[in-house]
Each structure stands twice: as structure tokens, then as C-alpha cells.
Structure 1
Amino acid sequence: MLHLRPTLDLRRDVMPHVLRKDEPPGTGEVSVCIACPESPLSAAALRVVNTERDGRVLYCCQGASGNTSIGRYDPRIQQNKLLYTFDKEVCVSSASVNREATLLAVSLVQKLRRETHREPLRAGSKCLTLLIEIHPINNTKVLKAVDCRIRVQFLYPDTDKNSVHESHLLLISEDSYVEQFHINLVQEEGYRVVIQNPARIPKDKVAEDFSWAQWDAHTQRLFYLTCREKSVLKCVQFYPDCICETLFELPMDLPASPFAPVRFVNFGCDHYKDEELVADEALNLVVLTSNTGSMCICYSKPVQADEDVTYTVAFVHRGYSKTFTVAMEGAPRPPRTDLLFISLDYYIAVCLPGCFLHLINSRQPDLACHSLFLSGEQTRLCCLCPSSSVLSLPEAVLLEVHSGNMFIVSIKNSSLLHFLFTSTEDGQRLAALHCALAYLTPESEVELQIIHWICDNVMSYDRFDQIQEFMLTSLYRRIWQQSVSLDKVLPYSSISHWEEEIPGVKITTELLSQPVFRGKTRHLKGYWEELQWNIETMKYFEAVPNLRYRTTFVSEEWNKLLAERGSEEKKPSNYLRNIQENTKKVLSTVDTWHLDKKLVPLFQEEDHQQRVLIGLMVDKLREHLNRHLHRLGKKRIDGLVVNYVAQLLELVRRILETLWVKFNLRSQLLCFKQQGSPAEWAVFHVMSRVLEAAKGLCLPLPPGFNSLLTVLGLRCLPTHTFLQYLDHGILQLTEPFVMQLFKELDNSDQNEELKFSIVKRLPESMGQKIYQLWDHPISSACIARNYVRSLFVKLEKKQGTTRAERDRSFFQSEFMPLSYLTKTLYDVEDQAVNPFKEQENVDAKFVEEIALKQTFLMLGFEDK
């Protein structure tokens, strides 16, 4: 399931360089030669020591002549550079080079050999920390000579200035203190960079009394854990001017552990340290952060054979932690004692190779169905030796310690999609769908494959609707990155709760203590500002109901607007005008539906209901964001809301285009005279499910969607089934559909029956426009009734009589209503103008005949 892309292979990228003889120190570009098989230099003598913020890798090499060299490899340009060579064999436990490659800090340890050569090297009682001038190679300064190990790390200020006048170095001791050395430099003879006053290098203490420390090179942060009375996680932020400040403190309830010796994370590789001893004794803990303001603290006890594995992920930005207990009964013996915690931004990969792989959703961790839990073959890391010691580095990088090879980790597209398409459990299928949409996309090919899968599996599953999940998760992924605040208010799933248990995994949830921000307000910028805002608003979000926007907010208001539009169509209210303006903004943002290609025959129509729903969704979503995210500002919220609804319409269009290509349908407008093909039936089935999913969420559809679906329904369904679909509201009679139907079909008995069934189901406003297209007595009767009604309205206004008075006089008269009607028609015949668009005169004699026929029917006489 995980893809490991090699970024460093010591044998291929570095070995040929170090085998070259007489390589002058400090040279830049080198040519790569092929290693000699007979060379006494082995891979065991070539080791990775550290990785710097810029991605360059420091390595040390013990040569055949007894010397030890330190070099640097740049994977971006695939070049090596020799930094320094000791004239004897030394044990380099830690090393770091400053940004300008003018200073090298090295921590050396003594080694003792056991009586037998099979015993590994053990650490000595002395550690020597040196500061070396390497541009050019010049003086060497002793910083520390102590009995405990020291880790060294240069700071890399986040600045574009290529200053060579100062460097800042961290010394991290196993005696639980961190010091920062401020090294002032001078430039001599135009190129020589030397320490200005090597005898007195100023320093200050950064941290003390810690039992665990982690360095985040990319963000220049130091995390450390103090354990005086209770475990407290603290973070020191280093700024571009190399001023440091403790910004963050979090009390933690960690499991009991001796924490001996002190465990270091991301401080390079100490090859002379017994890592197995550390793993057996110390708590495996790592802090993972992202620029979206999330912080996850992952920790686990050492894995013991034949015991369940337990690990905890504390979601600091969400205010709670989840503990996962994995049953290991019947599982193979784990090859390692530490879990791998790998940050994949949206997900945290928790891996015990060969046993299990969990992809924990770090952004939406509330429901277990949005995380993926795998076991068996999917957990194998094919590029790594099962028993090899592996370090998880920042930026999703793995380092295989013994071979020195480095890999960038990502979720493998093909494996995830295959798992999605073949899963049989709803929970796994739902988690894989979310992972594919949130992590793999925006790769268009991935989204296309998912649409094809939906088309082939369009029936709803027991616990979720895959079309609704596809629409909401795709919209969430397309829009939330424009502002991380949207993460908490936009819908990302139609699932509100999930109670299904995960086989072999038990999950418990606990609340976290509230963190404390110690930094000054002016320093809480970027990541820290987002994290603080997440934490401060967490209580507000928990107290406010319906914080996450629900599309059902629109349904009640939508029904009211439809009724209001029917009654005030000629003169819309101001609110309706605003709704229409919202719709115009969305439709002007949406793609032009590829009119040049005409791939999908969408009717270019008003589609009043969808236009009202589009504008209403914009209005309600804008109102929701203004209530909860007012800090974004009205102008930005307006743009986000319009873009969100436009992306929805674009997503539906993409589904339709995929359907048209998949089933090879014609791009011409479908006609009514032919029966639908199996391909059209398949498209109709999928579009019906899309319509059902959209209605369930009260989401608008592109104008023309309902017309196209109704055309396919008429072609594919039997007439009686088609009419039932109309009566149950599955299909909708739109004006373009009805007008084309009456124009295209003749008045055969079968077509006449269909037209009559359609006319009976038309709303009155649409029927008045349709009657004139149908040359039939029923249509003529409707025209006559409407015409007479308009005459009586005009007569009322002219004579000033009320309807009640006129009706009373009719019933008291000795004459039939037909007599009065005939007289009235002759009196106003010269003013008789058809109210329809053609503006043709209406024959009074024709209306008289129609009225006579209607009168006979109303009185119960047979028409003779």
C-alpha cells in the first residue's frame, strides 16, 4: 500500500566518489566512477550521519588507509562534496554543517573492542565535540569533552540572505541540557571564513531536565519532554534572527517508562549507539505537525512478542486522543520493536511491517470509518529488509540505517484503488474512497477511475451512499485548502456517526489537557497562529450546534421560494432578486460546459427550480460562514462560497462527460421517436442515482440535467412507468422537454394518449404556453377557456360589478349562461385578441361552439 521512492543509494550515489584516490579536500563538482569490486572499502564503512534542512545528506566513511572522511551529498543535483578528513580512524556519532558549508560540528566517541571480533563496538566513556573551519580547512575548536554523548545541529535560518558572518549551533547532551552557541565569523583574503574569536564563543542555555527531545529541521523547532512531577511537552521556536522562545507547553499523561537513556528523534544517526537497547527501554514518541495548524503526538510502548500492540495518537488541534489496541493473536512475530509513525500530511501512517498498517486521518479523525486499517500483505514494505533498523524522518522520509538508503514514502495509487474496488466491507470501502479522494487527487486520472467505479457500482451500500460521499469529499478537497478554517465548517461526509467495530482493532477516546501558549502575540504567526486559533475555537465549536454546514439547511427555505416564485413571477421580491444574482455569479464562474465540443447534450435553459436552488445554496452557505468564520472577511467569503457551488456543478458535469465517453453516446440532442439503447438505459440509471443523491443532500444540479434525464426516461421506460416516475417526482417535466415533445411527435393514437397524460400533469403556467403547440380539441378547449376568462376579467374592470353580483344575476336569469356568453362575445369581437405570443384574432364563432359544448357537459346533457 505504501510506495517507497529511493532518493539516496549509498552504493550508487556515494561509493564511487569516495573510492576515487587522491580526492583533494573541499572540491566541488566531481565525476562519478564505477566502484572496484576488489576494493577493501565496504558498505558497512560508509554511513549516513545526518540530513540537513536543505535536504543534503552528511555521511562518514572509514577508508582503507585508516582515515575517516565526512562528506555531503546533494540529491537535487546528485553531487558529492568532501568536507573534512581525519588522519586516523574515529567514531563519528553526530555531525552537522552550517548553511554556507564553512563550519563543521562533529561529535566523536571512543570505542572499545570486545575480545571477539563478533561483538559490536560499544560506546566509550568519553565524547569529544569539535568545531572545525572548513572553508578553507583551518582551525579546530574543542566545544565539549565530557563523559556523555553530545548531538550537534546547526540552525538554518529561514532567510534568503547568504550571510557568512555568523552561525548558530545547538549542542544536545544526554545529560539533559541543550545549549546554543553563537559563532561570529570574519572573511579574510576574499574567501577565507574563520571564527572571529575562537577562545570565547558566547552561548546560552535553551532547555534542561528533559527525557526526550526531537528536532524539526524544516520548521526549526525543538520539542522536548520534561518529567519532574508530570510529563510536559514543550516547544522552542527558533526565528530567522536565531532568537529562540518557548511558545508551547502541553501537560501529558504518558505511560510509565524509565526513559533511560534519553531518546533523540531527528538528530541524525549514531551508529555507535546500541539502538536495540534504546528501543527496548524508551517510549517511542514523535510529534508530527503540518502547516495547516495541526499537531499530532504519536507514542507507543516497545512491541513485545505475543502481546497486543497499543499506540496513541493525540490530536492536539482537536482536543482529544485516540488509543488503538491491535490484536496480535496468530500474527507473525514482529521483526522490530518500534512502530513507524510517518507523516503523510492528511494521514499518519502507523506501520509495523508485516503485521499491520493503519492510515489515520489526522484532519477528520472523529469517525473510524474515515481511517484505513490494513493487515496482511498490504503492510509489507517491499524495499526494506524486515529486520533492518529504520528511522522515520520529516517530510515522509525513511532511512534504512544499515544500508544508508533513503526513501520518500507515499500511498501507492494502484494499490489503494485496487483495494477500493475489491473491498467487501463498507467501512474499508468508505475509508479507501475518502483516502483516494483526499490524498491521491487532484490527479484527474484517479478521479476518473473512481467515477468509472461508481458507474459500475451505482447501487447504494448498506451504510453509505457512494455518490454522496464522492460529491462531498471531492468538494471538500477542492475548496478547504483555500483556507484551513473551512476544514471545520464545510461538509466532508454524509455520515454523521459510525458504530461498526473494526476487526482486530479496539479504539478508545480521551480528552486532552489544554495546551498553553507562552510566546508573545507578535511571534504567534503562521503555523502557531493557526494552531492557537484551532485550539481557542475548539470549545466554541463544541458548544455551537450545527457548526458544520449541512445541505439540509436549504430544504425548507427552498420550498418557500418555489411557492413565492409561482405567485410573484412577474414581480420578484428583493430576496428573490438577490437569489437570482447569486445564481448569475455561479453560472458565470462555471465552465462553459464545453459547448464547442457538445459532449453532453445539456439543454441551454433557464431551469427555474435549479437556478433558485443554486442561488439559495450560495445565500445559506455565505450566511453560515459569516456567522462562524467572520475573521475571513465578507469579500473572501463571497468568493469562497461562489467557488464552492460552481465546483459542485463542474463536478456533476465531469460525471456526465465520463458517462457519455464510457457508453459512447451520441453528442446530438436525443429524439423521442426511437427507443433507448442499453447504453442509454445504463446512463439513465446512473443519472437517476445522481439525482437521488443530490436531492438527499439538497444540492443543485446543472441547468438542463432534469431535461436530459427526462428525455432518457421517456426513451428507456415503458409509458406507464415513465408516468409513475413523473407522479413520484423522480422525473420532472421541464419546459424544453415538453415543447420538444409536442413539436416532434405526431397525433397518432399512442402519441395522443401520451400528450394528454403530459398535459394533465403540467402546471398551469407552463400549460398556457404548451396548448398552442398541440392541434387538438383538448388544446382548443383550454385556449377558449383561458380566453373567456380574460374577457370576463376585462368586463369586470369596465363595468365595476363584483363577481358575486354577476354570479347572482346569472343564476336568477331565465336564460342559459350560453346566451349571455354569446352576446358578450359578439359585443367585443372586434377587441378579441389572443393573449398568446402570436397575437392572432380569435374566431368568436369557434369560441361559441366550444362554450356550447362545455355547457352541455356541465348540465349533464349528451352532446348530440
Structure 2
Amino acid sequence: MYNDLAVSYSYLGTRQNKKAFKTSFLNVINEFNEWKPLGQERDGSFIFSWVHTKEQESRTHIGIYEYDKNLLSPVYSFPKKVNCTQASTNSDKTLLAFVIKETDEETKESTYKPYLYKIGTHFDDAYDWKLERNRQIMVQFLYPRVSVLSENQPAKLLVLVHHEYIFQYQVKLKTDNIEDDCLSQETLVGKFLWAQWDPEQQTLYYIHNRKRNRIIAYSEGEEESNAGNDKITPTLSGLQFNDEVPHETVLNIPLNLPHLTVSTSSCLIYEDDAIPLRIHDCSLDLIVLTDPNGIVCVCHHYLYQPIQPVVDLKDEDSSPVHFAYSVTVLHQSCVLHCVIPDIPWNKAKKIRPLFKIEGDHLLIIIPDICTHLLDIGLIHEPCCHVTTKPLITETQLLYLAPIVPLEHGSVLNLANLDLISLEIPTNMLVDTFKSDTLLENKLSILHYLILHSGHMDTASELILWQSERPFTLGYPQMLKEYLIATSYAAVQRTLPTDANKLINLLPITSQKIGFEYEIQQDEYIINLSQDVLWNASMMLLSPQQRIVPYRTDIWVKLWEQLAKLSKGTQRFKPSQVVEKLMVSLVCYQPEVLSRCSTPLSPSGGASSTLNDFLSNQCNKRNQVDALPFFEIDSCTASKQEHIISVNLRELSMHLLKQSTENRMNKWQWQSQTPMHVHAVATRYITAQLDQSRQLCQLLCKAATYEPRLEMDKGFIFINNLSDERRLIFFTILEKYYLATESIAFPVPQGFSSFFTFLGYKTLGFDMFMQYVNRNVFELQVDVMKIIMADTDNSKAGIQAKLQMLTALPRSRAKRLLNQWSHPISLMLRAREHSLNILSGVAGPPLGRSQGARRNKGYRGLTAFPSNENMSPLDTFLDLLTAKASLTDIDFGLLIEATEASMEEAMMNAK
């Protein structure tokens, strides 16, 4: 009978066009048309109906398409053309339940009728429930975990009648014919407003009215004074079906459902869409999306008029309405709201948004308006949401539906049965980043590329592109996001599995949680906000209350996720280190510190991981040094080591404190020991240094530095730069410095001196000293030597040198004064030497070699007899000898300073 249909055809012709269920065979023969999906089961198989026209006679057929076998098998044939709206088969494909919709041509009223059929018997033997309603009816078989039912195990079937009840039937066949005594009935739910079947989790969600409990989840800002009233509120409940044990209510969520008041027609209008299986009318567009890892999102789409009083709108009315949706991210205990105002009613009522979970994100496609990537994953709190241009612009013949996963990122277009891939193209994100979009949107795109999609090269290219516009508002913030995200990603790749719980305490983004923003997308303004849910765990059935306690399923994972949130664990904040450094750097004296107590010392307190990393970095630098300066600090203990030391201490203490406070929570922290804390902390500090250096290389490349072409490095490289390139270098590296300072990231060794000299050559001296006085520029010994040599000995030059020396720590200034061969240096050192002797703070005695070198060529006191004009010197030297022994007085220095002072006085007199 079905020889012309029993064909095994190839799914898709090519993966490019994604034509899911149309074949060349079916396209050629016009006898088969009006293909319609009736449902999808847990095993991925589809149920289709089609119309077979032959000799001017049309008949409707039902078949099962097994995706994995690529086979379409007809199972039922009607004697005429009918409107079959939905169907379901049991797991061993022996029973078929379907619903017929009949419409009266005169009254235009529709009637739904369900039937049950044993596959393989005569078509007239289909069992009629004698159930006729003008409200939507759907049927669904339950699928056990085992693939094949035993002979004595009855099949379970749900029958849903909108606004009336939900029945569960157990079908146990005694003969080939289905009789009344083969069915046993159980009422699961009374009157309900909406229902949805989740084939993957075997969960039935439904909305019904119930009295509000005293302890419920509130959105932030909602008054708790209403908690004890008896108000009837809509509640979303979830029935979990199990194989051997009865079903159980695992979920109860009170809902806030804005009423759709812009429609004048009756709400008893049904779309009759069987994928996903939802029974609802036009008054409520809601869908629940889940992931086996414990992700649960309740997505609600609605339209409303912001202006009161509300007016009735006709179909072709172009009055503006607000297009809105809310997503209750249950596993993160928050609600995301999106409102797009001023959309014409005749356009807004036709837009059907698609909600689909893609990894750590919820993909929301609003045709012709925008595409959202809401960050709703488990690894961190929702905060990095991406808004980009519409992924789909053609709304005609388009109705996308999420399906049981067949291929990654694919959805079904119910209008033409195309299987469409909805992966967000990377080039679309790049275009959005380069557009005039909001800063938070750019940060979210960087976050997505680095941590979720793994496109590190693309993120680096965007940083290079943005570096060509360094004066853009928020450019340092982008560098901060890049540093934090790449450091987290580096730790995530190398962290041992037994310490992976602690990674949830590391910084992951620079963005704030729960902020509101408004973004312009073409001619539309998109508002996104976030509210917090309180007592979210009260919505769930706890694991110990389950029929089978602690059974591993989505609801136990969801409970554990909410329990982790309730513990109040906090991520480490870079601001903690910044605050410590603000205090410690005031008394920071690198000349008097030793490397033996710094984490970069081979014999110090660092782990072997950090030392190995530094050794590898040195080997890499010996091969190709991509930085325009030598990675060497001249001081005994560099500022880089100090920052790393404070980071390591603060992060270790934070991880240890958080893991200790939560140790009683065995499922989360039982394997976390101080050794794990040490491993995570050292790896993160290592990643900080590594990523900071890589970003510096990237920015130097953006500043036109090519290491294979440049012959010079360091200060010589800066001297040879043109004024234009020098300004570009300074502008970009200044933003890099601001980014690293604000999040306490270490910079490569040698950067501080290079940056200081670059600023000296780029800025005016007064501006340069402002940077010095505000601790932006560090006047280390190496950079001070080159600046002192580069500054002439004119009056202005000498004043500049003295001003810089005054800004230095005392010990560093004395070292530089000793190396400055100028009369001013002699006079300053002589005055300090005399002051120390007269005040009783004489320094250590000069060695013989030094004293001999000082007094060589001078006659000491005999050089200035008392009868000459220099007699005051004799009196002054007598005063000094009365205060200190001769070995403590540097006569050579005093005499040289006196001669220099006299020469300067004579020059000024002339």
C-alpha cells in the first residue's frame, strides 16, 4: 500500500542549504505535499503528516521519520484529507496517538478530537476517546530511560485539554483492538492556563492559579508586606516523570505575567504548533528551556501599551507598542528584562522571537530587530550580555522552533521544514564591536570571544583595531577586560581537575553584575535590566525530599547550584589588591629590599610553577624579544615583584578563607585543601604576568613596533623615534599602564623605565613632573642616568635636574648626585656632609682610598692660610673638627665645593 512512500532518503543534500526534510524525490512528485510536523520524541524521531493526491483524491498520511536511520516510515492513513494537529508515539513505536481538528464551515468553530491507534492494525480500529472540545487538546507518550518496554509494562500517555485538566493514561493491550478496559485513567492537573512538555527531561510544565505562599521568591524591590495575603497568583509548576516511581512536583514558581491588552480578538486562538509541544492560546507566549547540566530558563514574550488608558488596536493599526520579554534565569536566581519601545502594532504582533540555549548563552533572535546573547551559564553570574544586529531579517514564511538536539545550533523552520543553523558568526560580532555600540556591549563581545567561543585571535585583532583609536572612551576598560578574561582562560586550561572548584572564586570579568543599559540598534532602542530573586531555592523540591533521594538529574544539579549561590561565596576582586598597594607603595623602597623575600626569587617564596614559567619566558625572550625594551629592572627588588607578592598573598588568603567557610558543604568543597589553594593562586599569578606581557607585545605591535625589523631597543629606540611615532607609543602605553594599575596587574620588567623615558621625550617638562609627582612615572636609576645625561647644564636644565632629584628617595638621589660631575652636585653633597656633622648624624668614616682620592692634589688647611681672603673656611673647618674626628670629615669634598662656589660667584659677578 505504501510502496510509493517507503523510501529511505538522504537528509539534506548538502549541509550548506540545510534542507531538512525535503528530498529531490519528494520535490519531483507533486502527489505528496502539505508536509507538516506533528511532534518530536525524546529519541529525536519526528512525526509528520502529508497529503497524498492521486486521481483527484486527497488523503492525509502520518509517518515517523527516524533521524539517525534517515528513514521515513508511514504508520497511518486517513480515508480523506484531514487536519491532524499533533501526534505522538511510544518508545517501541507500537502505539500512535493523534489529534484531529475539525472546523465548521458555517460557524468557523473548531473542535479537537484525540485518537489512539495500534500501529500495524486496520485503520478503522483507531480508538476514539469520545472527547470533543473547542479548546486545544494534545497527547504525549512518556519515554522510559530504557529504550524498549517489557511486555507487561504499560505505556503511559498524557492527554492535555486546555483550561480543563491533564490526564495520564496507562495503556495495556490485551488484544490487537484497543478497548476501554485497556486504559486506566489518573487526573494529574486540574484547570490550567498553559502547559509544555520537555521530551529530554520528561518533565511537564504547566501554569495554574494558586494561593500565594508566605515564603516565596521575590524580585528585588518587591515589598514583602504582600507575602502573607491570600491573593491568587499564576504559578509555574513542574511534574517530573520517572520510570519505576510515581511522578513528583519538583518546581513551583510564582509568576508575574503582564496582560496583553492590545488585542481585541478572543484569546482562544491557537497556533497548533506541535514543536515544541505547548498547549496555549494567544494570551500567553511562554517557553521553558532546560539543559541537563542544571540550567533552567523561563522565557516570556509579551506586548503592552505604555500609555494609559489602553486603546483597542486593529490588525493594520500602526500605533506604537512595547515589545518585551523576560527571562527567569532560575539557576542564577535572577530575572532579565528586555524592552524595545515604539514598534508598530501591525509589525510587533507578527514577530515571534526564538529562545534557544547555546552552551553558556541563551540565544534570542528577534527578526528584523536584533539578536541577543544572554550570558546565563553556570560558570559565573549573568553580566556579559551581547546585543548585535538581527541574525534573521526575512520574517515571511519563518517560524523557528527549538528541537531535541540533532546537530549543534540547529532549529527547525516549521513553515518550510528547513533545518537552520543559528550559530552566531564571528564576523557579525566583529562588525558589532567595530560599530558605534555601547562600551558594555564591546566588553561583552571580548568576554564571549575569549572565554566562551575560544576565539583568542579574533579578540586580539579587535584589541589591535581599537588601539588605532586610543582616545576612544573606555579603551582602558577594554584592556582590563582582555587581561582579566585571558588570565581566567589560561588558568582554566591548566588547572588540575581536583582543584577546579576554586576557579569559581577567580575574577572573570570587569563588568558589574546587574547593571542596566540602553543600546541603540539601527532605529530601535533596546533596554536591558536585571533583578535579583530572593529565596529561589524555595521554588524547588530539595534532593532529600525526592521520591528517590539524591537521584542525579537536572533538578538535583539545579538545587546544588542554588545552594552554592546561597552560601554567598565571593569572587576575588582586583580592587582588594589595589587598596593594599595604595598603602604599601607609599613606603615602597626598592633599593633597600632584597629578592630573597619576593615571589620571583628562585630561592624565595614562589612555587616551582612560577619559576618554571619565568625560565620559559627568559628562553622565549632569548629567541625573539617582541618588546621594544630590555626586560631588566636595575633596582634590587622591582615594583613588579612587589605587586606579584601582594597579589599572591591576597589571593591565597581569599581562596583559603572562602574554602574554609564552605567546607561544611561537602558536595562543593570537600576536596579543596591548602595545596589546592596554593596551586590555583600561583597559576593565576603566573597567568597575570604572562597575559600582561602578551598584551604589552600586542600594543607595541599596534604602535608600529616590528621586532624583526627594528635594530635598536630601549632608550636608544626612543631617541630614534620620530615625534609622531613617539606620541603614538606614549598614548597607547599610557592606556596600558592605566589598565594594569586599576586591576593591580604586573607589567614586564623594564617597562617602567622605558615608559618614563618615553614620557620624558614626549611631554613637556612641567607635564612630565606632574606624572612623576602622581607616581605614574618611576625615576629609577637607569632612566635617571639617561635623563641627566640628556639634559643640558643650562640654568633651566640644572633646575630641571634638581627638581627631579628632589622627587627621588633620599638614597637614590645620593647615588645620582655622586655620579653627577657638576659644581652644583659638589656643593649639595658638601652641604649635606657638613649638616650631618654639625647635627651629630655623621655617616660612616671614609675609607683610606676614598679619602686619599678626595684629598689628592690639595694641601688641606694649608691651602688657605688665615691671612688670605678664605679665612672663613678656616673658621668653618675648625668648627667641624670640634664636632667630629678628622677621619669623619671629607676635606677634599669641602674644598672642592668651596672652590666651585667661589668660581660660580665670580662668574655671576662678571
Runs (5+) with no aligned partner, structure 1: 1-17, 186-193, 796-810, 826-843
- Match status 1:314 vs 2:328: yes
- Match status 1:130 vs 2:122: no
Q: Deviations over 1:766-797 (max 9, x none)?
A: 567778877778889999999996643999xx
CA distance in 1, matches of 2:759, 2:791: 21
Q: Deviations over 1:505-551 (max 9, x none)?
A: 4869585664333243342646544533454465664xx9xx55432
**Aligned ranges for residues 587-736 of structure 1 at < 5 Å?**
588-589=612-613, 592=617, 594-595=620-621, 596-601=623-628, 603-605=630-632, 608-629=638-659, 630-631=662-663, 632=669, 633-634=672-673, 635-662=675-702, 663-666=704-707, 670-673=713-716, 674-677=719-722, 678-714=724-760, 716-717=762-763, 722=768, 724-734=770-780
**CA distance change for structure 1 residues 162 and 485 in 2, over 3 Å: closer, same or farther?**
farther
CA contact (8 A) 1:91 1:111 kept: yes
Identity %: 16
Say which SS state the counterpart of residue 410 (structure 1) adopts: coil
Cα offset for 1:407?
1.9
CA contact (8 A) 2:88 2:139 kept: no
**CA distance change for structure 1 residues 570 and 474 in 2, over 3 Å: closer, same or farther?**
closer
Tell me the residue number matched to 1:224.
206
- Match status 1:286 vs 2:275: no
Tell me the residue number matched to 2:887.
824
- Match status 1:147 vs 2:131: yes
CA distance in 2, matches of 1:655, 1:520: 46
Cα offset for 1:370?
5.2
Cα offset for 1:588?
4.1
**Which moves more between the two structures, 103-112 or 773-782?**
773-782
Cα offset for 1:56?
5.0
Q: Deviations over 1:67-90 (max 9, x none)?
A: 73524253xx7x621334435557
- Match status 1:173 vs 2:159: yes
What amino acid is the match of 1:699?
A: F
**Which moves more between the two structures, 123-132 or 415-424?**
123-132
Cα offset for 1:690?
1.2
CA distance in 2, matches of 1:184, 1:850: 116
Cα offset for 1:323?
4.7
**CA distance change for structure 1 residues 493 and 812 in 2, over 3 Å: closer, same or farther?**
same
- Match status 1:296 vs 2:297: yes
What amino acid is the match of 2:729?
A: V
Tell me the residue number matched to 2:869.
none
Say which SS state the counterpart of residue 249 (structure 1) adopts: strand
Tell me the residue number matched to 1:467.
479
Q: Deviations over 1:48-72 (max 9, x none)?
A: 3334445554444444455735242
Say which SS state the counterpart of residue 454 (structure 1) adopts: helix
**CA distance change for structure 1 residues 71 and 740 in 2, over 3 Å: closer, same or farther?**
farther
CA distance in 2, matches of 1:72, 1:625: 53
User: In structure 2, which of residues 400, 403, 407 is the aligned counterpart of residue 390 of structure 1?
Assistant: 400
CA distance in 1, matches of 2:198, 2:422: 18
Tell me the residue number matched to 1:581.
605
CA distance in 1, matches of 2:828, 2:125: 105
CA distance in 1, matches of 2:478, 2:562: 32
Tell me the residue number matched to 1:490.
507
**CA distance change for structure 1 residues 816 and 285 in 2, over 3 Å: closer, same or farther?**
same
- Match status 1:442 vs 2:454: yes
**Aligned ranges for residues 698-777 of structure 1 at < 5 Å?**
698-714=744-760, 716-717=762-763, 722=768, 724-734=770-780, 737=783, 762-764=808-810
**CA distance change for structure 1 residues 622 and 324 in 2, over 3 Å: closer, same or farther?**
same
CA contact (8 A) 2:236 2:252 kept: yes
Cα offset for 1:614?
1.6
- Match status 1:853 vs 2:846: no
Tell me the residue number matched to 1:569.
593
**Aligned ranges for residues 196-595 of structure 1 at < 5 Å?**
209-229=191-211, 230-237=233-240, 244-255=247-258, 268=276, 279-280=281-282, 282-290=283-291, 293-301=294-302, 306=319, 307-328=321-342, 333-334=347-348, 336=350, 338-355=352-369, 357-362=371-376, 371=385, 378-379=389-390, 381-382=392-393, 384-386=394-396, 388-393=398-403, 397-423=410-436, 426=439, 441-459=453-471, 461=473, 465-472=477-484, 475=487, 490=507, 492-493=509-510, 495=512, 503=525, 505=527, 514=536, 515-521=538-544, 522-523=549-550, 525=552, 527-536=554-563, 541=568, 547=570, 549-562=572-585, 563=587, 569-570=593-594, 581-582=605-606, 585-586=609-610, 588-589=612-613, 592=617, 594-595=620-621
CA distance in 1, matches of 2:511, 2:100: 61
Say which SS state the counterpart of residue 707 (structure 2) adopts: coil
Q: Deviations over 1:351-372 (max 9, x none)?
A: 5433555554546999999545
**CA distance change for structure 1 residues 147 and 513 in 2, over 3 Å: closer, same or farther?**
farther
CA distance in 1, matches of 2:419, 2:288: 21
Say which SS state the counterpart of residue 652 (structure 1) adopts: helix
Cα offset for 1:622?
3.1
**Aligned ranges for residues 780-859 of structure 1 at < 5 Å?**
791-792=844-845, 815-817=878-880, 823-824=886-887, 848-854=891-897
CA contact (8 A) 2:502 2:680 kept: no
CA contact (8 A) 1:214 1:266 kept: no
Cα offset for 1:447?
0.3
CA contact (8 A) 1:93 1:107 kept: no
Say which SS state the counterpart of residue 772 (structure 2) adopts: helix
Say which SS state the counterpart of residue 96 (structure 2) adopts: strand
What amino acid is the match of 1:47?
A: K
CA contact (8 A) 1:296 1:313 kept: yes
CA distance in 2, matches of 1:53, 1:446: 38
CA distance in 2, matches of 1:329, 1:776: 77
CA distance in 2, matches of 1:626, 1:351: 43
CA distance in 2, matches of 1:54, 1:774: 84
CA distance in 2, matches of 1:125, 1:424: 50
- Number of equivalent positions: 768
Tell me the residue number matched to 2:73.
83
Runs (5+) with no aligned partner, structure 2: 14-22, 212-232, 261-265, 305-312, 520-524, 664-668, 849-873
CA distance in 1, matches of 2:679, 2:361: 29
Cα offset for 1:455?
0.5
CA contact (8 A) 2:506 2:572 kept: yes
What amino acid is the match of 1:815?
A: D
Say which SS state the counterpart of residue 581 (structure 1) adopts: coil
User: In structure 2, which of residues 50, 55, 61 is the aligned counterpart of residue 68 of structure 1?
Assistant: 61
Q: Deviations over 1:244-271 (max 9, x none)?
A: 543332233435699868999975579x
Q: Deviations over 1:777-823 (max 9, x none)?
A: 8889999999996643999xxxxxxxxxxxxxxx9999353699785
Cα offset for 1:21?
5.9
User: In structure 1, which of residues 27, 48, 73 is the aligned counterpart of residue 37 of structure 2?
Assistant: 48
Cα offset for 1:310?
3.9
TM-score (norm 1): 0.71
What amino acid is the match of 1:412?
A: P
**CA distance change for structure 1 residues 749 and 496 in 2, over 3 Å: closer, same or farther?**
farther
CA contact (8 A) 1:212 1:264 kept: no
CA contact (8 A) 2:298 2:327 kept: yes
**CA distance change for structure 1 residues 616 and 138 in 2, over 3 Å: closer, same or farther?**
farther
Say which SS state the counterpart of residue 48 (structure 1) adopts: strand
Tell me the residue number matched to 1:798.
none
Question: How well do the aligned residues superpose, as a CA RMSD in angstroms?
Answer: 5.6
**CA distance change for structure 1 residues 628 and 222 in 2, over 3 Å: closer, same or farther?**
farther
**CA distance change for structure 1 residues 215 and 706 in 2, over 3 Å: closer, same or farther?**
farther
**Which moves more between the two structures, 571-580 or 527-536?**
571-580
Q: Deviations over 1:716-735 (max 9, x none)?
A: 45666555543432222345
TM-score (norm 2): 0.68
**CA distance change for structure 1 residues 164 and 537 in 2, over 3 Å: closer, same or farther?**
closer
CA distance in 2, matches of 1:748, 1:857: 18
**Which moves more between the two structures, 852-861 or 234-243?**
852-861
